[in-house]
Structures are given as structure tokens and as C-alpha cells.
Homo-oligomer: A and B are copies of this chain.
């Protein structure tokens, strides 16, 4: 199926056949968090999108080196190279060493990625850990004549760069529009053009995070780290560069400019951008004050939330929309997702216990076999179509219907051929658990105690003690478990 994968490349603005530079190896770099506060759901969606891309590429057999960085220095409060370093500011507010802030929120970020069942990247480099490499790239850009030093700071010369390359290649921004859109430089600004951006900033005397460099004791510009770390670990030219769509300009545009200026090569073959999470139609962001933190979702403790939602519910909710579409969060959608996720989880439980058996009487039903085969193919088609998880989930629900029919007895398992059954099982399990990363939220250790409860339930039923039957049903329901009286006996399921 590898040969059929298409990805939307932001650079060309179209879906392209995915052809890695050195198959079966794939190098993927994704812009990670700036660790000065808790990661909010908007960030999470972006990381989740690339988690899916990583998982599916591996499912297709690619050997992926996935690099996701930690921005722990140099990210100023606005993109105009002014204001304080976000981490240093937070450290000052909380009266801590900046690296304490970094450690706290890096751990918090890791915890969130674990809770949401995201795969670890292969390497997680930090900006502060690559100052030497960043200084080396600044030197290269200076040598190329595409940056200038002033008062100990170094700026990228966008206009000069644009004479020999194309600034705007990724974002489609037009230089003249950008210039007319900026305010005039006042006399205080060191930059030649308002479009220029910092490669190295001289640190004010009070600035804590600083390193020696040929130009000043200072710190690297924000865009620089990604150009440095992506190429250090993936080579000057690699396959995929990803991030949230808000990073497309200026961050990614500047990354390309830096790499072209310093290394003579545009770094990534495919640029991929995850779209925004909106809430009531507005972008979710810390600065707008409408952001929801993962822990608020789990507790339901947020003015915009009616009730708590579990990690897998949120994961499922996000995957119901393609990563390039905006996704609006609402209680209605989350509640529906909770139901949908539990349906899938129940399907997993049922399917794992299903054993194929021929009964020697029932004939194999070609039409049903064909149909199931088509559903399985469709899962691949949807994912191959630029990782369309929304469509994939719809196809999985078609398979689920068959699983449930077998479970309830309305479809006889021996109407399926053994091959169809095996394929259905492996595709459903692989896609739900490995590709979409949806796992059962109940710990398995619940089952032994449940068995005891179930035997009490069965006994009460056989004794026609309906008071007790109802009691047990009610108590289990409080735990999110419903009992089902099947032909084959009593079974339990997650309440959907």
C-alpha cells in the first residue's frame, strides 16, 4: 500500500504522491512546544495529527526517524523580535531559574502525550542544547552575505535574500504586501527592514539565559533552532517538516530562508500543517484566554464544559475531523465522541474474543465477504488520501456493524471465509489500536472482580431475585458498565 500514499504538501499547495528521499527511511521533523506553560488543546491537536502520520507511516513499513524539538530558549513574546523571552519572563514571575520552568513544563508535556497515547519521537532535541550548532549556522549565513551584525545582534537580511531566492515560497506571502503592511521603523530599531528577523540577539544585562558568541553574550533567534536541529539529525534535505498552521508564517518561511542561505538547500521535501482547533468559532490560544487544558477536560472544570471527557474520547473526537480542516470543539461534539469511542472500544473487546469456526452447514456468503474486503480496503484508501482519519473511522464503523452482527448472532461467523475473518480482525485491530492509537481505558485488572460480580448476577437471575438483579445493574452502571443478556450468557460492555 506504500505506493498509494498521497500527502498534501503546503509547499506546492496540492496533494502529491509520497516518495521519500531514501526509502524505506523517512525523516520527519515537527515543531514541538515552547515549554513556558501547560500545553493546551490547540497545541495538542497539532501533535496528535503528527502522531497519526508517524503511526501510519510506520504501519506502511517505513522506518521513520521522528524528531520533535523542545523550545526552551529564544521564543520572544512576539514575532517582531521584541519583548521578553517567554521562559525567562515566566521564571521571573514565579521566581525560579528558567531551567526549572523548562523542566516542569517539559514533564507536563510528556505526561499529556502519554495520557493521550502518543508515540515517543525518536529524538527530542532542545534549543538550549544546540547553541554551538546555531552559532555555526549564523556564521554561515553571515559568510553568505545574507545577514548583518549590529550592536552585537545579527539579523537576517530578507530583502537581499529575496534577490537571489524566494522569500514567501511556502506561505505565498508577497514581499511588497508584507512591507506595506508593517509600520515604519522608528529610529530605535536596529533592523534594516522591518521584515528582517533576529538570528542572534545580544542579551540585556538582566537577561539570565545567555551564551557567549562571536557577536555578543546573547541568545539565538527563535526560528534558528529548528533549522539547526532538523538538519543535524535528519540531514540537509529530509522528507517531512510539520507543525501547526500558525507556524507556517513567519516561522517556517524563515526556516527555509535560513537553510537556503546557510546550506544552499531548502530543507524539507514535504511541508505539512495541522489546522487549528476553534472554540465557538474562535482560534483557541493562550493569548485569547479561551484555551482549555487537558486536565480541565478530564475534570470538566471549565466554564465552557458541561461534564468531564476522557483522554480517548478527546482523541477520538479530534480524529473525526481531517487534520487540515479546522475543528470546532463543543459539548455536543464531545458527548457524541464519547459514545463513538465506546462503540469502538466495545468492538475491540468483542473482536479479541471472537474465534472463527466453520459449522459445516452454512455456506460462505460471497457478497458479505466482498463487502468486508471492501471496508478493509477503504480504511487504507482513506488513510492513503492524506491521512484522512475522519473517513477511516467511518469505514471502521462499517466493519464494526459486522462484528456486532456476529456477536448478537444475526450474522453467522461461518458465512465469512477464514481469510475474510482474519483480514477483518487484523485490519480492525491494527487501525483502531496502532494507527489511530485508540486503546481501552479500563484497566484489564477490573475483569477478575467483574467475574465475581457477574456470577452473583447470574445466580440472582436464575433465582429470579429481580431486586438483586436490578441492584447489580444499577451499581455497575455507576461504573460505566452495562450488562447484556446474550443468548450465550451474560456479557458486559462499556456504556455507550
Instruction: Give residues in A with beta carbon < 8 Å to B.
Output: 65, 97, 99-100, 102-104, 107, 110, 120-126, 128-132, 136, 211-212, 233, 443, 445-446, 448-453, 456, 472, 475-476, 478-479
Contacts and interface: CB of A to CB of B under 8 A. Distances in A.
Nearest to A127: B129
A448 B480 CA distance: 11
B132 A129 contact: no
Contacts of A110: 110
A65 B452 contact: no
Given A103-B123, A448-B475, A65 B97 contact: yes
Most buried by B among A123, A124, A452, A456: A452
A51 to B, nearest CB: 15
A125 B98 CA distance: 12
A44 to B, nearest CB: 19
Contacts of A448: 475, 478-479
Contacts of A97: 65, 122-123, 233
A479 B110 CA distance: 32
A103 B129 contact: no
Nearest to A123: B99
A368 to B, nearest CB: 39
A363 B42 CA distance: 62
Contacts of A122: 97, 100, 103
Nearest to A107: B120
Contacts of A478: 448
B452 A456 contact: yes
A68 to B, nearest CB: 10
Q: Give the 6 A-B CB pairs with smallest separation, nearest first.
A: A129-B129, A456-B456, A449-B449, A99-B123, A100-B122, A452-B453
19 contacts: A65-B97, A99-B233, A100-B123, A103-B123, A126-B129, A129-B129, A131-B132, A445-B479, A446-B446, A448-B475, A448-B478, A448-B479, A449-B449, A449-B453, A449-B479, A451-B475, A452-B453, A452-B476, A456-B456
Contacts of A104: 120
A103 B132 contact: no
Contacts of A121: 103
Given A452-B453, A453-B453, A103 B120 contact: yes
A443 B107 CA distance: 23
Contacts of A131: 131-132
Nearest to A213: B132
Contacts of A479: 445, 448-449
A408 B424 CA distance: 57
Contacts of A120: 103-104, 107
A193 to B, nearest CB: 31
Nearest to A472: B452
A120 B476 CA distance: 37
A130 B99 CA distance: 12
A445 B476 CA distance: 12
A65 B132 contact: no
Nearest to A465: B459
Given A103-B120, A136-B212, A453-B453, 4 more contacts: A65-B97, A97-B123, A452-B472, A452-B476
